[in-house]
Amino acid sequence: MEVPKENISAYGVVDAEAVSHAGGGGRLYRIRNLVEKRRPKMRLRNLAIIGRYVLTPEVFHSLEAIEPGAGGEIQLTTA
């Protein structure tokens, strides 16, 4: 979801590129990176993470390889 720039620091954001897809209506993106909380000087679009992810199975290899972060949790955004 696009979020006004003045509100974006309250959301996780994505670095994404639009993907053409029949019937996608301009709403399908290939995600290159996820950032939990965008700092104001980061040059990312204003696309907020608001719900569900569809991930390829390779992400599980990354999840297994990372160390737990804050609160002992494995962070999807780190993977």
- Residue 66: is its pLDDT beyond 80? yes
Measure the CA dihedral 55/20/2/36, to 10°. Answer: 30
| Cross-strand pairs, 29 | 18
Q: Show the tokens assigned to 72.
A: 């002992």
- Residue 41: is its pLDDT beyond 70? no
Count how many Cα atoms sit within 13 Å of the Cα of residue 77 in the half-sphere of its side chain: 13
- Residue 78, domain member (yes or no): no
| Band of pLDDT at residue 39, cut at 50, 70 and 90 | low
Domain count, the chain: 1
- Residue 33: is its pLDDT beyond 70? yes
- Residue 30, domain member (yes or no): yes
The pLDDT value given to residue 26: 67
Full domain range(s) for residue 67: 5-72
Mean pLDDT of all residues in 51-79: 82
Q: Which residues are within 8 A (CB) of 40 and not within 5 positions of it... i.e. 6 or more apart? A: 9
